[in-house]
Every structure is written in structure tokens, then in C-alpha cells.
């Protein structure tokens, strides 16, 4: 491992309701130091900035690093980068600002239908989730089902609300890695730094090799 590779530090934030299991294929391929940042339990009516300030305690203020966020984790990565000037946000299957929310999620926000559906309902339809998130059969699907099973309802409801009402005003720059077949955050007219052919919203598992090559080649400065 080169000196540059050894000096890379990654802080990995999983997607909404997920945990370190989504990084099981990626972690062994990263060159450098890697830490998984775990979700915290939201406080009653907690704002996203306040929540992110608590999450950011896992990232030393003066440490140059890459904060790599998957899906909603990308939103948190961008918010952490506001508080940590030495951190660079890398988005995997995520969006660079609130204007990039796709039409479906804008409709869900406008109709407030997400308020009517209990988070536990997601656990009843794993095959629908498999299609939407682009999860392959076999090991990936088993991981996906376990993540669904372990989703905490209070956190899930809170996170969905904060994603749909994210204020990204003056959010900083980021590096976006998106899959060409992502149904949750499909590629739009805005150029993406890294577009992975065939990648879905769950590509952090299925395309870990491609993602690791991008992360390991990111310039340190």
C-alpha cells in the first residue's frame, strides 16, 4: 500500500435504517483507514442540523478525511462537511442538494402520504423493496431482508421526514457516485462525477469493487 493510500481516512455512513452490513463487500477493498459511523436515536422533534452535530462527533475536527454517505447517509455526509472543513463529502446513491429530489419523492412530500404509512409496513413487502432498491437475489436479498427486519420505526419515520424536508441552502460541494439504474435517485440532467453502469440504489453491495476503485483513487488534496 502506498503512503498516499495509507493516509486516506474514510468515515462511512450507511443508508436510512441500514448499518455496517451494507459495507461488508466494500470495507475489505478500501485502502487506508475506515470507520463506520452508526446512526443515533433521534431526540424528540430533533432537527437535522442538531442531529448531525451529534453524528459529527465521530469525525475529528482537524482530520482530513472523506465522509462517504449512502442514500440518506449522503445527506448527513454533506451536513457533516459543513461542520468539518477538513472533510470531503462523497455521495453514493445519493443527491447533492434538495433540488435533486426525484418527482416521486416530491409527490410523497406534497401529499404527506408518508405520514399515513407506518414504517413497519415496509417490512411486510420485501419483494417490492427489492425491486425499488435494485437488490439482487441471493446474499444481497438476505442482507436486505435482515436490514428491513431490524429497522427501528421511530428513527425511520424521523429520517424520512428530514430527508423530504432537507434545507440544503449553501450546502458545500461533493463527489457523487450514482448508478445508471438507480430507481430511488435516478440520474437526471445534471452531470454526475462517477456514473456506474448497471448500478442500482443497492450498488454499495453489488458494485463494491467499482466503488472502491473510485474511493481509493480520490486525490487527498
Mean pLDDT of 36-49: 96
pLDDT of amino acid 7: 84
Phi then psi for residue 135, to 5 deg, are -95, 130
Residue 177 CA to residue 58 CA, distance in Å, equals 23
Residue 170 CA to residue 134 CA, distance in Å, equals 32
What is the DSSP secondary-structure string of 55-86? HGGGS-TT--EEEEEETHHHHHHHHHHHH-TT
pLDDT of amino acid 175: 97
pTM for the predicted model, two decimal places: 0.93
Is pLDDT of 23 > 70? yes
User: What does the domain layout of the chain look like in residue ranges?
Assistant: 3-217
Q: Which residues of 175-209 are buried (b: 16+ CB within 10 A; e: fewer)?
A: bbbbbeebebbeeeeeebebebeebbbbbbbbbbe
Cell output for 132: 425499488
- Domain spanning 3-217, CATH class: alpha beta
Is pLDDT of 6 > 70? no
Share of the chain above pLDDT 70, in %: 94
Residue (of 160, 108, 104, 166) closest to 132 by Cα position:
104
Is pLDDT of 183 > 90? yes
Regarding predicted confidence, which is higher, 113 or 34?
34
pLDDT, one tens digit per residue, over 83-127 is 999 999 999 999 999 999 999 999 999 998 877 777 667 777 788
Measured on CA atoms in the order 140, 146, 149, 154, is the torsion positive or negative?
A: negative
pLDDT, one tens digit per residue, over 186-214 is 998 888 999 999 999 999 999 999 999 99
pLDDT of amino acid 161: 94
pLDDT of amino acid 40: 96
pLDDT of amino acid 188: 87
Amino acid at each position: 500500500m502506498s503512503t498516499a493510500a495509507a493516509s486516506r481516512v474514510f468515515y462511512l455512513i450507511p443508508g436510512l435504517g441500514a448499518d455496517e452490513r451494507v459495507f461488508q463487500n466494500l470495507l475489505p477493498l478500501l485502502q487506508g483507514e475506515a470507520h463506520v459511523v452508526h446512526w443515533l436515536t433521534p431526540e424528540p422533534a430533533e432537527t437535522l442540523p442538531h442531529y448531525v452535530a451529534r453524528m459529527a462527533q465521530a469525525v475529528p475536527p482537524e482530520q482530513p478525511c472523506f465522509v462517504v454517505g449512502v442514500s440518506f447517509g449522503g445527506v448527513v455526509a454533506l451536513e457533516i462537511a459543513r461542520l468539518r472543513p477538513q472533510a470531503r463529502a462523497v455521495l453514493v446513491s445519493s443527491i447533492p442538494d434538495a433540488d435533486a429530489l426525484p418527482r416521486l419523492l416530491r409527490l410523497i412530500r406534497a401529499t404527506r402520504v408518508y405520514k399515513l404509512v407506518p414504517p413497519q409496513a415496509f417490512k411486510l413487502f420485501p419483494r417490492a423493496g427489492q425491486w425499488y432498491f435494485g437488490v439482487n437475489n441471493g446474499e444481497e436479498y438476505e442482507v436486505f431482508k435482515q436490514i428491513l427486519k431490524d429497522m427501528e420505526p421511530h428513527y425511520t419515520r424521523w429520517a424520512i421526514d428530514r430527508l423530504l424536508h432537507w434545507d440544503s441552502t449553501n450546502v458545500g460541494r461533493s463527489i457523487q457516485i450514482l448508478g445508471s439504474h438507480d430507481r430511488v435517485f435516478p440520474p437526471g440532467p445534471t452531470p454526475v462525477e462517477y456514473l456506474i453502469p448497471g448500478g442500482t440504489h443497492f450498488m454499495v453491495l453489488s458494485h463494491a469493487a467499482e466503488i472502491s476503485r473510485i474511493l481509493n483513487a480520490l486525490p487527498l488534496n
